């Protein structure tokens, strides 16, 4: 009853086998499925664009998008179950239809709602802003229950007592304490505190105070309610629902022990598909931040199921480069590893079986390219095949539904604007994730901010006389140059509000100017459907170009953005002077 859940969790984190068709087949099919689902509402939007003034139609499109972001934020805040999302989507969808189409759609939506209702009523199912969470009891240890927490169908955490973790579970939980010399544990920071088992261990080891940080409020809530040791009820523990890197940047406390306790999110940041929720925790800059928050006798440790030997060495090398001496590295079965390093070498004691970092080691990840699981080189061929398939499908769809592409040639500049804008948005999402955390709320606020700025640009163009397009493009170039010359890490030392003010100006000024240019051109379009369709096709291309960040880093995406806006300027019709 004890070994089975441990084995299940270990297998989930370390298995290298996959089932089903290859991803280069599945992902284009998923793309087609999503596009097909959205085709109905998109067709209705296209008809509206043909019936209304160009900028009036675009304004209402933006207001609708902003309404969706607000609804997303509220539903995520309330941790609403899937059936609530389904009811709202059904109501919106049926509003767009009438006659027999509404009847057919109503039947399809009814089947979907029945499935979502069954899922919502399943015992142990709940929702966080990031995951579908499933809780199941998997036996007991010395009379105390063991719970398996799965997210999106993947085993994520095994919640049990400290006694279970320290004796019957994997050795990684006790190893950090064995590698530090005997010294007081006044303050302990645990990032990835989750359901509280690591917190309970720290209390058992004598911690006088524990700051427990986790990005997921629902998993912490499960720990507060059901962890058999009730660590979150202990007065020595302070809970923080926050991004780990953001917490490090905001606290002045020094710690005797900092643990990165299996911070594996299994989720990506929306709008920046190469960034995981924990990506900025494992950069060289993040480890320097952790080192600077240690007392003179302080120790830093991270442990997880790292899946690959090269990844273990990369993290060990990052610790070596940061602390100036080699860490203790303990490797157990199935790529379980613990990397422990003291601020002062004399305060760490490695085992006789200590793993030595190899000579062919991948350089540390950094804040500009926080891709821990990418070994370097060019974009993987598998990615290129998938992206190529998506682009071919997109071009064919636009050709079939929108007519000959040569008829859209007058709007080629809007194509480049779409690609540039998507890349600019992606870069800003990555910047705000670094500066303020990868939480769902930060992400939602960035999207809402982008939409508000775009709406402000449209209203400015509608209501006021704006400079000619060449002047606006010059402003875009100047704003991007400033954003390039002020890297995000230069803002990290600033207090929160000044950092926010500068980040907003650097991020949103280019977006505002770019959308003034777009609004001026879009207002002149003879066919709003063709112009907007080509702009959306450009946005898809921009989304694919995001993967260039694997090679260039996020800062140099601004160079790509500048080239795309230059192409937009060169391809604009001579009559489009504004």
- List Cβ<8 Å contacts ≥24 apart for 4-8: 4/138, 4/139, 5/138, 5/139, 5/146, 5/148, 5/158, 6/158, 6/168, 6/169, 6/170, 8/138, 8/148, 8/155
- DSSP per residue, 172-196: GGTHHHHHB-S----EEEEET-TTS
Is 336 exposed, middle or buried, given 0-12, 13-18 or 19+ CB atoms closer than 10 A? buried
Say which residues have a Cβ less than 8 Å from residue 183's Cβ, sequence separation at least 6.
256, 297, 347
- Does 437 lie in the same domain as 526? yes
- Does 164 lie in the same domain as 123? no
- Does 417 lie in the same domain as 529? yes
Residue 211, both tokens = 């700051």
Domain boundary among 322, 347, 372: 347
Domain-located, residue 30: no
Judged by DSSP in three states, 67 sits in: helix
- Does 186 lie in the same domain as 51? no
Report how far apart, in Å, the C-alpha atoms of 111 and of each of 104, 154, 415, 575 are: 11, 26, 38, 52
Q: At what angle do helices 469-485 and 496-523 cross, to 10 degrees?
A: 150
Judged by DSSP in three states, 220 sits in: helix
- Does 387 lie in the same domain as 343? no
Angle (CA) 311-277-430 rounded to 5° is: 100
Tens of pLDDT, residues 518-574: 999 888 888 877 788 888 889 989 988 999 999 999 999 999 999 999 999 998 887
Tens of pLDDT, residues 329-340: 999 876 789 999
Task: Give the bridge partners for 137, in sequence order.
Answer: 147
- Does 123 lie in the same domain as 165? no
pLDDT at 301 over 50: yes
- DSSP per residue, 277-308: TTGGGSSHHHHHHHHHTEEEEEEEEEEEE---
- Does 523 lie in the same domain as 416? yes
Tens of pLDDT, residues 242-280: 999 999 999 999 999 999 998 876 665 665 557 788 889
What is the number of residues in the chain? 578
- Does 399 lie in the same domain as 302? no
Domain-located, residue 517: yes
The parent domain of residue 342 ranges over 160-347
* 181: CATH: 3.40.50.150
Domain boundary among 305, 331, 347: 347
* 503: CATH: 1.20.1250
Tens of pLDDT, residues 137-168: 988 998 999 999 999 888 888 999 999 998 87
- Does 528 lie in the same domain as 430? yes
**In 306-379, which ranges are E strands?**
328-331, 336-342
Domain-located, residue 111: yes
Asked whether the CA dihedral 516, 64, 497, 211 is positive or negative, the reply is: negative
Domain-located, residue 12: no
pLDDT at 6 over 80: no
Residues 410 and 571: beta-carbon distance below 8 Å: no
Tens of pLDDT, residues 78-113: 999 999 999 999 998 888 778 888 898 899 899 999
Tens of pLDDT, residues 466-500: 999 999 999 999 999 999 999 998 999 999 999 99
Domain-located, residue 108: yes
Lowest mean pLDDT among 36-45, 128-137, 223-232, 387-396: 36-45
Residue keyed to tokens 């029945």: 114
Domain-located, residue 209: yes
- Does 245 lie in the same domain as 317? yes
Domain-located, residue 148: no
Per residue, what are the HEC states of 402-443? HCCHHHHHHHHHHHHHHHHHHHHHHHHHHHHHHHHCCCHHHH
- Does 222 lie in the same domain as 123? no
Q: What is the C-alpha to C-alpha distance for residues 305 and 150, in angstroms, rounded to an integer? A: 16
Q: Which has more pLDDT, 536 or 219?
A: 219
Domain-located, residue 471: yes
Q: How many domains does the chain have?
A: 3
- Does 395 lie in the same domain as 248? no
202: nearest Cα among 149, 140, 258: 258
pLDDT band (50, 70, 90) for residue 515? very high
């Amino acid at each position: 009853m004890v070994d089975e859940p441990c084995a299940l969790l270990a297998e989930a984190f370390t298995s290298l086998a996959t089932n089903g068709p290859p991803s280069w087949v599945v992902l284009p099919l998923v793309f087609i499925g999503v596009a097909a689902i959205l085709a109905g509402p998109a067709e209705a939007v296209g008809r509206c664009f043909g019936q209304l003034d160009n900028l009036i139609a675009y304004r209402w499109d933006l207001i609708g998008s902003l309404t969706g972001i607000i609804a997303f934020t509220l539903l995520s805040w309330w941790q609403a179950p899937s059936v609530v999302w389904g009811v709202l989507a059904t109501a919106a969808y049926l509003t767009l239809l009438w006659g027999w189409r509404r009847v057919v759609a109503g039947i399809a939506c009814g089947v979907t709602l029945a499935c979502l209702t069954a899922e919502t009523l399943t015992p142990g199912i709940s929702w966080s802003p990031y995951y579908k969470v499933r809780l199941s009891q998997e036996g007991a240890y010395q009379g105390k229950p063991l719970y398996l927490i799965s997210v999106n169908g993947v085993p994520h955490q095994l919640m049990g007592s400290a006694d279970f973790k320290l004796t019957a579970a994997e050795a990684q939980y006790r190893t950090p304490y064995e590698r530090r010399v005997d010294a007081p544990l006044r303050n302990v920071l645990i990032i990835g505190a989750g359901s509280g088992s690591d917190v309970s261990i720290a209390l058992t080891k004598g911690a006088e105070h524990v700051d427990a940080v986790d990005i997921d409020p629902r998993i912490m809530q499960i720990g507060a309610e059901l962890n058999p040791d009730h660590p979150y009820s202990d007065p020595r523990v302070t809970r923080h629902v926050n991004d780990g890197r953001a917490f490090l940047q905001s606290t002045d406390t020094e710690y005797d022990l900092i643990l990165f306790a299996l911070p594996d999110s299994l989720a990506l940041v929306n709008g920046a598909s190469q960034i995981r929720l924990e990506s900025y925790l494992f950069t060289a800059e993040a480890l320097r931040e952790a080192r600077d928050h240690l007392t003179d006798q302080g120790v830093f440790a991270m442990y997880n199921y790292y899946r690959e030997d090269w990844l273990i060495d990369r993290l060990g090398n990052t610790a070596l480069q940061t602390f100036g001496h080699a860490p203790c590295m303990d490797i157990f079965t199935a790529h379980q590893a613990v990397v422990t390093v003291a601020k002062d070498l004399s305060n760490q004691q490695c085992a006789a079986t200590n793993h030595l970092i190899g000579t062919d080691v991948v350089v540390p990840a950094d804040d500009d390219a926080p891709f821990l699981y990418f070994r370097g080189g060019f974009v993987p061929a598998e990615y290129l095949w998938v992206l190529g398939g998506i682009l071919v499908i997109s071009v064919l769809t636009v050709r079939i539904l929108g007519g000959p592409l040569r008829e859209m040639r007058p709007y080629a500049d809007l194509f480049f604007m779409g690609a540039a804008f998507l890349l600019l948005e992606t870069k800003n999402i990555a910047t705000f994730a670094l500066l303020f955390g990868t939480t769902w709320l930060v992400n939602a606020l960035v999207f809402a901010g982008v939409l508000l700025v775009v709406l402000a640009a449209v209203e400015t163009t509608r209501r006021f006389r704006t400079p000619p397009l060449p002047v606006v493009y010059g402003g875009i170039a100047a704003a991007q140059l400033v954003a390039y010359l002020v890297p995000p890490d230069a803002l990290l030392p600033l207090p929160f509000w000044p950092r926010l003010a500068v980040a907003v100006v650097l991020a949103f000024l280019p977006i505002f100017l770019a959308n003034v240019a777009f609004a001026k051109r879009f207002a002149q379009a003879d066919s709003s459907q063709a112009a907007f369709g080509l702009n959306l096709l450009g946005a898809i291309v921009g989304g694919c170009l995001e993967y260039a960040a694997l090679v260039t880093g996020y800062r140099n995406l601004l160079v790509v953005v500048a080239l795309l806006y230059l192409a937009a300027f060169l391809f604009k019709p001579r009559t489009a002077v504004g």
